[in-house]
Each structure stands twice: as structure tokens, then as C-alpha cells.
Amino acid sequence: MISNLGAMRVENVKENLIFSLDVWPETGVSCDFALSPSVILPYLTAGEEDLGEVPNILTSLRGHLDLQLAGKRLLVKGNFAVKTEMMCSRCLSNFIGKVGDTIDEVVELGRGETLSPDEDPESFIAVRDGKFDLSPLIAELFWLSWPVRAICRPDCKGLCPGCGANLNDGTCLCHETKVTRH
Ligand SMILES: [Zn+2]
Ligand SMILES: [Zn+2]
């Protein structure tokens, strides 16, 4: 039988980041995940970066997590990646870029407490009914890995300072005038 590894792995992929402490194995928890944008979007609106609006995420957010519990501390290692629309800081046009990073975090699990808005989800995760949700943490890491200066392509020519034309689309009139003066 010819097996498709990619298709087989789908069965073990988590579609949320809710974990239960009631069935926590001593060896820790390891899983792949694929979150639909709707799982992560509610947490992205509270992002620290002032990007104006919620990003248009184009794929499910995929990654891997290795979780180890040490007392109330949870060691979170893994990675994540997602394709999203972003704006080029040179030519100001929208393009499809990738946001992703490795994950190496230590968070504190608070039993029974609720997470208030001013508490940093990077360092504190609430536990309710024996369960905790790492979606706020991943949302935080999503913003942290968002490029400070996104570029649509390495050789983006940007906008003409004279007329504002997108120079990737061709030469503007200002540049043509300069050339003909030579
Ligand atoms: Zn550009
Ligand atoms: Zn111009």
C-alpha cells in the first residue's frame, strides 16, 4: 500500500490548543496543530502592536508543540507558521507573507484564576476546570514574529518620492524626464 504520510498525520493534528491537566502524562504532551484563523483571531485583536486592524490570515496556523509540566510551570517548545496578508513597508501594496517562529517559552499555570486583560499572556495561562488554552500565547507569539519592516520582495523598488507611483509597476514620468535630460 502506498501511504500518504501527510494525509495520515492529519488524524493526530489538534484543531485547538486546549489541553487537559486531568490526563497529563508524566512524559509530557507532544502534538501537531492546525488552527483555523477563527480560533486565533479573537486573541489577535488584543495584540500589543498597533497594526491598525486584524490581519487577513489566509491559511490555518500550523505547528508543533512539546509541553512539559514542572510544578505550576509549563515549558512550551515547538514552532508555528501561517500565511497572512501584510503590507509592504516600501511600496505599501498588500502581499502574502509568512509569519512564524520557533517557540521556547515558560508560562505559569494559574489554577482557577481568570486572565484579566492587563496580565501578560506570555507568562501566565489560566486553568479552568482542569483545562488550559495556549491560543493567547500563540497569538502573542504571532505578533512578536510579525516583521517590523515587511518587504513584498527583496528587490522591491518602492514608491517614487516625487509622484508616489509604485516603481515595481514601471518607471514613472519623473524618472523618464530625468533620463531624457541626459
Ligand atoms: Zn514592496
Ligand atoms: Zn515619479
pLDDT digits (tens, 9 = 90+) for 119-157: 554 567 888 899 999 998 999 899 899 998 999 999 999
For residue 97, report the distance from its CA to the centre of ligand 1, in Å. Answer: 12
- Say if CB 108 and CB 73 are below 8 A apart: yes
Q: How far is CA 156 from the centre of its chain?
A: 24
Locate cell 486531568: which residue? 22
The ligand minimizing its distance to the Cα of 86 is 1
143 CA from centroid of ligand 1 (Å): 21
| Closest-CA residue to 43 (of 141, 151, 174) | 141
- Give the ligand whose atoms come closest to the C-alpha of residue 88: 1
CA of 153 to the centre of ligand 2 (A): 20
pLDDT of amino acid 54: 79
Are 103 and 141 in contact by the 8 Å Cβ rule? The answer is: yes
Q: Point out the ligand nearest to the CA of residue 158.
A: 1
> In sequence order, which residues have a C-beta less than 8 Å from that of residue 76 and are 6 or more positions away?
65, 66, 67, 103, 104, 105, 106, 107, 134, 137
182, pLDDT greater than 80: no
In this structure, which ligand is nearest to the CA of 171? 2
* Gap from CA of 82 to ligand 1 centroid (Å): 20
78 pLDDT tier (thresholds 50, 70, 90):
very high
Centre of ligand 2 from the C-alpha of residue 168, in Å: 12
Of the listed ligands, the closest to the CA of 173 is: 2
Strand boundaries in the chain, DSSP class E:
13-14, 18-20, 29-35, 61-70, 73-87, 94-111, 124-128, 131-133
Report which listed range, 1-10, 53-62, 88-97, is most confident: 88-97
| Rounded-to-integer distance, Cα 137 and Cα 121, Å | 6
Give the pLDDT confidence of 79-130 residue by residue, as tens digits: 999 999 999 999 999 999 999 999 999 999 885 455 555 555 456 788 889 9
167: which DSSP letter? G
Handedness of CA 80, 11, 124, 118 (dihedral sign): positive
pTM tops 0.85, yes or no: no
